[in-house]
Amino acid sequence: MNEVLREFLLETDESLAQLDIDLVTLEKEPKERETLARAFRTVHTVKGTAGFLGFTKLQAVGHASESLLSRLRAGELAFNVDIATTLLGVVDAIRQMLASIEQTEGEGDGDYSALIQSLDRLKIAGSLGTNAVAASTPSAATLNLPLAGNGVGRPELRVAARPPVRGPVAPAPAEEPSPPPAPAPSIIASASTLAVPPAAVSESTETRTPAVSDSAIRVDVGLLDKLMTLVGELVLARNQIMQFSTTQEEAAFLGTVQRLNLLTTELQANVMKTRMQPIGNIWSKLPRVVRDLAIACGKSARIELEGQETELDKTIIEAIRDPLTHLLRNAIDHGMETPEERVALGKAAEGRVSLHAFHEGGKVIIEIADDGKGIDPKRVREKALHAKLITPEQADRLVDRELVNLVFLPGFSTAERVTHFSGRGVGMDVVRTNIEKIGGTVEIESRLGLGTTTKMKIPLTLAIIPALTITVGRDRYAIPQVSLLELVRLEGDQALRRIEQIHGVPVYRRRGSLLPLVYLNRVLQVESSRGEGDEVNIVVLQADDRQFGLIVDAIHDTEEIVVKPLQKQLKGIAAFSGATIMGDGRVALILDVLGVAQMSHVITGARERALSEKPAGRAEPEGDRQTVLLCITRDGGRIAIPLSQVARLEEFPRSSFEKAGMQDVVQYRDEILPLIDVWRVLHRGRHDGLNGDAASLGQAARPSEDDPSVQVVVYSGKGRRVGLIVGQILDIVEETLVSRSRANRPGVLFTAVVQGRVTEFLDIEGIIASADAASFDTSLVLSAEA
């Protein structure tokens, strides 16, 4: 394909995107003179170039549209819905021809005579009714244009916009091939869809800021990819040198390494930036989508875009284009009520869909919110039960928020009727698959009657990802952080006790639900360095809607890795998604979490239709999540103390105990720390007296009062410190509390399942109060409360 043709395809594609926006704007604001003029110029240029290149059909369509636009611009016609629809049809027709030109260098055999006829009809019909509109002369309108917006900085467009442009005059050939120094702050989104070899940098959809043509240059995307690869190599080399430098002592060398480190990081950030484009590039097509859909569904909707300038890696932008469009369709087709319904509900007749993009915690969040009817959890539940996607037992366990997220299950659709746009039962699961493919997540929040918000979390880039390194046998593997939920380490006899078997299949009780366990060495058919009775390391992973625990030999660091594809000799091994070079220069394979899950039958090949315990893992109600300190009392019972109330953990020898009245105390950090034996207080509550002490409790092996030292949790609150003697400090865990139940003895707030075990949550203030009382008068035990 020759240079002129390529340039033409590229330019036209860009201008059509703008034309889409302009036409939709004009439909709302028919008097936007500037927009109208720009639309006219675009069509004019396309037509002119088409004539010059010998594409007669394209020229004819362009000519008919231009004539219509020319009358509009002259004020002899008023812009209306019919005109908008027809002209948008023209945009589609031109796109169709461009696609054909791109593939065959010919316009294709489409018949556009009907389109041309309707254009001509509109031109005449419109002019009959609306003659009287006063307007300035066409030439004045064009001349007065401030040089802002799409065409600015492009010589050929400016030429085309000058006065004598009413006829089908083709611009002089000389203007065409000139590769314009484009106003180019970013890579054009459509470069790859056009398949015009990577060469595409162009103006973004910014219509507000006039681009300055010499502040930017066009760069081949291929070159940027190459740069990115090179920087990846550099990062690896840097990692290797950093690792080597740990064995060196030469100050000058270490200084240089530090500097190299900083420079590499900065270079990486900046090269990544060159591949970034504002999300607005794909959003620019959305106003049109919303308009078309709203009309087709008999609804009225407007779109609000916020955060267009938020930047994402080019490949990721491409990947979210379809899911985004799909969600938007859902919002209007399913979410939005008809104008009548809305008015009846006291809402504005025109619905609102808003897109909001912003950065948060190294990711980009995209929210799509509508003010429609929201998703009814009850209906979702019925549908899911009806389609046998979940069992009634599972359904009963789900809260509303989890129910709403069932729409991501394959085969789910709540649309009452199937429309052209949505409701065919495919969709949301595809949306989720696509988002997860690029390492993102998607979640729905809905308030019945008020609207629905879909929240996508997208990583900034794919080439360099954080990953956890683990060892199995003598090899290291990298696990992408995005699949990682948590790490569990079981030591000694815990390892034997906590891993249970269901007919030979290992499971682990994690917060009250069974987590299937998979031995990575068995999946990969390699030896394991783990011996009988060794500690067990479990990497809890999310694959699709399933969670499973991967048992590995050792867990190392998290580091940034550069993802490299595997060569074709190794394609087809589902367990690996790529390879990377570690800091020591050796190669490590990157585990494909989904593949491992499939190989070990955690999920079946076709997406599992059933539902996991917790659909999104993160969909747990946030409010109940807290970090607690787990301890065992002397009688083996498990207790938990909110970590926020814990000042320090200490161990005191019994010999350091002193007495202050009835109270045990120790000298601690220049203070006198009163000590309260938790077990005594709890026990006292139950047995209504102090004498039950040792007698009734012969059961479990437990740290007794004879132990030379005690574990103490230093509590600080209400301006004082108190030491709580507990049997043994176990662990600190972050927990979502499930199946709470009311306390059955004083000193306990409530009981909940933590790490699969019934655990009592201490009412520390209550314990202190009762201990205070007890230390003065043992008869004042809290029996009254029991």
Partner 1 sequence: MPNHQFCTFYVDGHYCGLDVLKVQEVIRYQEMTRVPLARPVVRGLINLRGQIVTAIDLRRRLELTDRPADQLPVNVVVHTDDGAVSLLVDEIGDVLDVSDQNFECPPETLRGTARDLIRGAYKLDGRLLLILDTDRAVNLSGGPP
Output the six-digit token pair for 765. Answer: 């203030």
Q: Which of 312, 478, 579, 774 binds partner 1 (CB under 8 A)?
A: 579
- Could you say whether residue 586 binds partner 1 (CB under 8 A)? yes
User: Contact between 448 and partner 1 (CB under 8 A)?
Assistant: no
Six token digits for residue 469: 């390194």
Nearer residue to partner 1 within complex by CB, 25 or 264: 264
Which span (5-13, 176-184, 495-503, 584-592) binds partner 1, by CB under 8 A? 584-592
Q: How far is the CB of 585 from partner 1 (least distance, A)?
A: 6
> Beta strand 351-360 with 363-370: parallel, antiparallel or unpaired?
antiparallel
* Contact flag: residue 501 with partner 1 (CB under 8 A): no
Q: Could you tell me if residue 718 is left (phi over 0), alpha (psi between -120 and 50 degrees) or otherwise beta? A: left
Residue choice 567, 622, 651, 784 for contact with partner 1 (CB under 8 A): 567
Q: In sequence order, what are the residues at sequence separation of 6 or more whose Cβ sits closer than 8 angstroms to the Cβ of residue 209?
A: none
- C-beta of 508 vs 576, nearer to partner 1: 576
The C-alpha atoms of residue 702 and residue 710 are separated, in whole angstroms, by: 12
For residue 59, give the 3-state DSSP assignment: helix
The angle formed by the CA atoms of residues 48, 53 and 58, to the nearest 5 degrees, is 60
How big is the chain, counted in residues? 786
Does residue 570 bind partner 1 (CB under 8 A)? yes
Q: Is residue 340 close enough to count as binding partner 1 by CB under 8 A?
A: no
Q: Is the dihedral of CA 315, 317, 322, 323 positive or negative?
A: positive
Closer residue to partner 1, CB minimum distance, 18 or 471: 471
Is residue 673 within 8 Å of residue 666, measured between CB atoms? yes
β partners of residue 759: 752
Site track for partner 1 across 194-233, x = CB under 8 A: ---------------------------------------x
Site size with partner 1, rule: CB under 8 A:
24
- Angstrom distance (rounded) from CA 231 to CA 329: 39
Under a CB-based contact definition with an 8 Å cutoff, are residues 673 and 722 in contact?
Answer: yes
Q: Which residue pairs, CB below 8 angstroms and at least 24 apart, start in 727-730?
A: 727/631, 727/632, 727/633, 727/634, 727/635, 727/636, 727/679, 727/702, 727/703, 728/631, 728/632, 728/703, 729/629, 729/630, 729/631, 729/649, 730/630, 730/631, 730/632, 730/638
Would you state the structure tokens that stand for residue 66, as one six-digit string? 């231009």
Q: Which is nearer to partner 1, 179 or 585 (CB)?
A: 585
Rank residues 435 and 588 by Cβ distance to partner 1 and give the closer one.
Answer: 588
Among 104, 247, 501, 569, binds partner 1 (CB under 8 A): 569
DSSP 127: H
> Cα–Cα distances in Å, from 256 out to 245, 246, 267, 491, 585?
10, 13, 16, 42, 20
Binding mask 631-660 for partner 1 (x = CB under 8 A): ------------------------------
- Among 135, 237, 555, 786, the residue binding partner 1 under the rule CB under 8 A is 237
Query: Exactly one of 515, 575, 639, 724 binds partner 1 (CB under 8 A); which one?
Result: 575
The single-letter code of the amino acid at 505 is V
Specify the amino acid at residue 205: T
For residue 593, the minimal CB distance to partner 1 (Å) is 16
- Residue 605 binds to partner 1 (criterion: CB under 8 A): no
106 vs 565, beta carbon nearer partner 1:
565
267 near partner 1 (CB under 8 A)? no
Q: Is 462 in the site for partner 1 (CB under 8 A)?
A: no
Closer residue to partner 1, CB minimum distance, 261 or 775 = 261
Should residue 568 be labelled a site residue for partner 1 when binding is judged by CB under 8 A? Answer: yes
Helix (H, G, I), strand (E, B) or coil at 573: coil
The 3-class secondary structure across 655-716, one letter per residue, is HHCEEECCEEEEEECCEEEEEEEHHHHHHHHHHCCCCCCCCCCCCCCCCCCCCCEEEEEEEE
Kindly identify the residues of this chain, within the stretch 516-545, that bind partner 1 according to CB under 8 A.
524-526
From residue 569, alpha-carbon distances to 155, 565, 572, 577 in Å are 51, 11, 8, 13
The answer to whether 236 contacts partner 1 (rule: CB under 8 A) is yes
Give whichever of 418 and 570 is closer to partner 1, judged by the CB atom.
570
Among 46, 88, 389, 588, binds partner 1 (CB under 8 A): 588
Binding of partner 1 by 554 (CB under 8 A): no
Examine residue 564 and tell whether it contacts partner 1 (CB under 8 A): yes
Residue 477 or 715: which CB sits closer to partner 1?
477
Q: Give me the least distance between CB of 237 and partner 1, in Å please.
A: 7
State the nearest-atom distance from the C-beta of 175 to partner 1, in Å: 42
Q: Which residue lies nearer to partner 1 by CB, 277 or 580? A: 580
| DSSP code, position 78 | -
Neighbouring residues of 422: CB distance < 8 A, sequence distance ≥ 6: 326, 329, 330, 333, 334, 413, 415
Among 102, 475, 534, 650, binds partner 1 (CB under 8 A): 475
465 in contact with partner 1 (CB under 8 A): no
> Of 63-71, 454-462, 580-588, 730-738, which part binds partner 1 (CB under 8 A)?
580-588
Q: Report if residue 104 touches partner 1, rule: CB under 8 A.
A: no
Q: Residue 491 and residue 209: Cα distance in Å, rounded?
A: 62
Q: Does 589 bind partner 1 (CB under 8 A)?
A: yes
Piece in contact with partner 1 (CB under 8 A), picked from 28-36, 288-296, 563-571, 668-676 = 563-571
Instruction: Compare residues 286 and 588 and give the one whose CB is closer to partner 1.
Output: 588
- Nearer residue to partner 1 within complex by CB, 525 or 655: 525
- Binding-site ranges for partner 1 (CB under 8 A): 233, 236-237, 475, 524-526, 564, 566-570, 573, 575-576, 579-581, 585-589
